[in-house]
Amino acid sequence: MSKERKIWGPARFRITRTDGTSHDIVVAGRVHWALWHLMQEGAKGCTPIDHPGPRWSAYVHTLRHEHRVEIETIHEKHGAPFEGTHARYVARSTIAPSLAIPAHGVAA
């Protein structure tokens, strides 16, 4: 088992939505990686520039639609030499590790 698999294996998080409801989710792999970075960055949010990952939009889609995590997409301009826009993802739900219930053996 690689070190990457140990770090980003299944983990349980408590998600508290902006309406005050909460639920636990189990995520693994790159979705776990993305959720962890969104939690760590807080209101600053994450961009694929600051946290390079091959499929940020896919991870965010999974978190939004499969796990009901509220994530805002902010479109930001960036300059030359490759002028254009990029996304900044900001979690609006509160994310906290749920350490009371181990995720081992639970499918993500």
Closest of 37, 34, 40 to residue 66, by C-alpha: 34
Question: Rounded CA gap, 96 and 68, in Å?
Answer: 14
What are the residues whose beta carbons fall under 8 Å from the beta carbon of 39, sequence distance 6 or more? 13, 91, 95, 96
Question: Rounded CA gap, 44 and 38, in Å?
Answer: 9
**Looking at the 3D structure of the chain, how many domains does it have?**
1
Within a domain: residue 105? no
Within a domain: residue 75? yes
Within a domain: residue 102? no
Question: Rounded CA gap, 76 and 4, in Å?
Answer: 31
Q: What was the pLDDT predicted at 26?
A: 95
Confidence of residue 103 (pLDDT cuts 50, 70, 90): low
Tens digit of pLDDT for each residue in 34-65? 999 999 999 999 998 889 988 999 999 999 99
Q: What was the pLDDT predicted at 21?
A: 98
Within a domain: residue 107? no
Average pLDDT, the chain: 88
The parent domain of residue 50 ranges over 3-97
According to DSSP, the residues that pair with 88 across neighbouring strands are 74
Within a domain: residue 108? no
